[in-house]
């Protein structure tokens, strides 16, 4: 049996491994200089971790879609008890997609026509997405965190989106 990567509060990002035929994912963790490799694709890691914590990636996406009234690039709650949320930087079918942990992000900047996500530990990663797109994903994830905590704490959402 192949070993699954367990997402923790140290997990900063999960991306497709581009330089290996055996490993399919690269994982960046806080406090580690080296990337961890895994034989599973990023969305498989996300799905299996969601299953361990009571749901599936598909179900978490439906939940996010309902709360945020969005259809694409949905942020998801991975570990509800620890408030661990991740968002994709692109469509999950896109090989450039990187899943980023919301709680580790300090911001994003554009340098030399490339967008970088800045982490709280002082590191950064380049992403194939616009500054605006990454910023919007961060904001949407924050909205999801707030709404789900509101539901958890008070039993219902106190804010309704009006279309």
* 108-155 confidence digits (pLDDT tens): 999 988 999 999 999 999 999 999 999 999 999 999 999 888 766 666
> Between 154 and 99, whose confidence is greater?
99
Residue 38, in any domain of the structure: yes
* 20-30 confidence digits (pLDDT tens): 667 899 999 99
Confidence of residue 3 (pLDDT cuts 50, 70, 90): confident
Residue 21, in any domain of the structure: yes
Chain center to CA of 65: 15
Residue 16, in any domain of the structure: yes
Domain range spanning residue 144?
A: 11-154
Residue 2, in any domain of the structure: no
Quick one: what percent of the chain has pLDDT higher than 90? 75
Residue 80, in any domain of the structure: yes
Residue 61, in any domain of the structure: yes
- The count of structural domains within the chain is 1
Residue 163, in any domain of the structure: no
Residue 64, in any domain of the structure: yes
Q: What is the pTM of this model?
A: 0.89
């Amino acid at each position: 049996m192949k070993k699954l990567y367990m997402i923790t509060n140290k997990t900063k990002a999960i991306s497709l491994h581009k330089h290996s035929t055996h490993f399919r994912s690269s994982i960046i963790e806080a406090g580690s200089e080296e990337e961890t490799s895994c034989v599973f694709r990023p969305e498989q890691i996300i799905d299996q971790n969601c299953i361990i914590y009571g749901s599936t990636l598909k179900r978490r996406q439906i939940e996010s879609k309902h709360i945020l009234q969005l259809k694409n690039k949905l942020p998801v709650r991975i570990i509800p008890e620890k408030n661990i949320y991740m968002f994709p930087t692109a469509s999950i079918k896109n090989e450039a997609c990187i899943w980023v942990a919301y709680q580790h992000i300090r911001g994003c900047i554009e340098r030399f026509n490339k967008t970088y996500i800045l982490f709280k530990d002082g590191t950064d990663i380049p992403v194939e997405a616009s500054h605006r797109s990454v910023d919007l994903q961060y904001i949407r994830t924050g909205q999801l965190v707030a709404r789900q905590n509101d539901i958890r704490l008070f039993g219902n959402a106190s804010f309704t989106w009006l279309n």
